[in-house]
């Protein structure tokens, strides 16, 4: 897992995203380094989740490419794409757990599919992953039987089933109470530190952004492109763009004393 390389882990290369002829974002260009917690932020409906769908290979770019460790995703053969996909873990907005399977079967499916482990070994790994997200003992529950926050955490457990190099999170704190959302943030940082994985997080929760992000990109719905790139705390204080400063200060134009940490 610890492959040191000079090239950035992920390079979003002059990416333009569109639904048909309707352009959502154009000319996105940024890099994500190994071991970074990278936040994709912006107002509602600016195309954050769409960008994530492009990065994990669900939606093809209108123009441009995503490059992983020097390997282009969209110019690659389907086999190479498969190989790249297996290095990702994706935690979807609503968890997206397979509703006909128990939590253990959900987490176990990637292991069962892509490894030669024996069922007992899989069962043990599954229990560990569920324990890591605080769901020990919920192995045999069906997704419909647990709460929204638990679904999300189970989704994270499934995303890290194969110990991926890169973990993607779509709105991890959406719809969670402040404490659960804080716990999920801590989990993201903890996993980064312990697994050395690269984290890409889509969110617009300011508290979360300032807690976890090393680096961030700001997508603007009005101009339909990225208008800022850097550490969110630096951007809040020093960005030349008023839209970004206003967003990061929750709409307060004056720098309020002791606002968000």
Partner 1 sequence: MAAVSLTSDVEVAARTSVRRTGPDSAVLELAGAWLSRRGLPEPDASVRELGGIRRLGFDATRVTAWDSGLVTFTLKVLGEAKRAAIDADRGGLPEGVRRLLALAEAVPEKQTGRSGARTPWLARLGASATATAEAARIGVAFLGDSVLALLALVGGRARFRMSDLFLIIQECGPRALGIVTLITFLVGLILAFVGAVQLQQFGASIYVANLVAIAMTREIAGIMTAIVMAGRTGAAFAAQLGTMNTNQEIDALSTMGISPMQFLVLPRMLALILMMPLLTLYADLVGILGGAVVGIGMLALSPTQYFEQTKGAVHLSDFFIGIAKSSVFGVVVALAGCLRGMQSGRSAAAVGLAATSAVVTSIVLIIVLDGFFAVLLNVLGF
* Choice between 11 and 224, CB closer to partner 1: 224
For strand 225-230 and strand 215-220, is the pairing parallel, antiparallel, or unpaired? Answer: antiparallel
* Choice between 113 and 147, CB closer to partner 1: 113
Within 8 A by CB and 6+ apart from 6, the residues are none
Provide the minimum distance between the beta carbon of 65 and partner 1 in the complex, in angstroms, as a whole number.
18
* Choice between 30 and 92, CB closer to partner 1: 92
Measured between alpha carbons, how far is 70 from 80 in angstroms, rounded to an integer? 13
Provide the minimum distance between the beta carbon of 184 and partner 1 in the complex, in angstroms, as a whole number.
18
Binding site for partner 1 (CB under 8 A): 22, 53, 56-58, 82, 85-86, 88, 90, 92-94, 96-100, 109-110, 113-114, 158
CB 5 within 8 A of CB 194: no
* Choice between 13 and 171, CB closer to partner 1: 171
CB 16 within 8 A of CB 193: no
Provide the minimum distance between the beta carbon of 121 and partner 1 in the complex, in angstroms, as a whole number.
18
Provide the minimum distance between the beta carbon of 114 and partner 1 in the complex, in angstroms, as a whole number.
7
Ramachandran sector of residue 10 (left: φ over 0; alpha: ψ -120 to 50; beta: rest): beta
Measured between alpha carbons, how far is 216 from 199 in angstroms, rounded to an integer? 11
* Choice between 87 and 233, CB closer to partner 1: 87
Provide the minimum distance between the beta carbon of 260 and partner 1 in the complex, in angstroms, as a whole number.
24
């Amino acid at each position: 897992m610890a492959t040191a390389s000079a090239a950035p882990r992920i390079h979003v290369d002059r990416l333009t995203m569109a639904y048909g002829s309707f352009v959502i974002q154009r000319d996105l260009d940024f890099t994500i380094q190994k071991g970074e917690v990278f936040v994709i932020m912006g107002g509602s409906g600016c195309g954050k989740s769409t960008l994530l769908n492009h990065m994990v290979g669900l939606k093809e770019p209108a123009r441009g490419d995503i490059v992983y460790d020097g390997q282009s995703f969209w110019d690659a053969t389907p086999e190479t794409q498969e190989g790249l996909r297996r290095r990702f873990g994706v935690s979807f907005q609503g968890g997206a757990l397979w509703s006909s399977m128990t939590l253990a079967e959900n987490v176990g499916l990637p292991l069962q599919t892509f490894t030669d482990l024996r069922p007992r070994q899989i069962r043990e790994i599954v229990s560990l992953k569920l324990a890591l997200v605080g769901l020990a003992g919920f192995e045999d529950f069906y997704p419909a039987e647990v709460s929204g926050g638990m679904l999300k955490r189970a989704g994270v457990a499934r995303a890290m089933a194969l110990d991926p190099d890169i973990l993607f999170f779509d709105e991890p704190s959406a719809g969670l109470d402040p404490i659960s959302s804080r716990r999920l943030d801590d989990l993201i940082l903890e996993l980064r530190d312990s697994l050395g994985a690269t984290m890409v997080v889509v969110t617009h929760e300011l508290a979360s952004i300032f807690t976890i992000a090393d680096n961030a990109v700001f997508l603007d719905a009005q101009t339909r492109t990225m208008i800022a790139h850097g550490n969110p705390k630096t951007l809040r204080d020093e960005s030349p763009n008023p839209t970004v400063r206003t967003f990061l200060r929750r709409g307060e134009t004056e720098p309020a004393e002791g606002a968000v940490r």
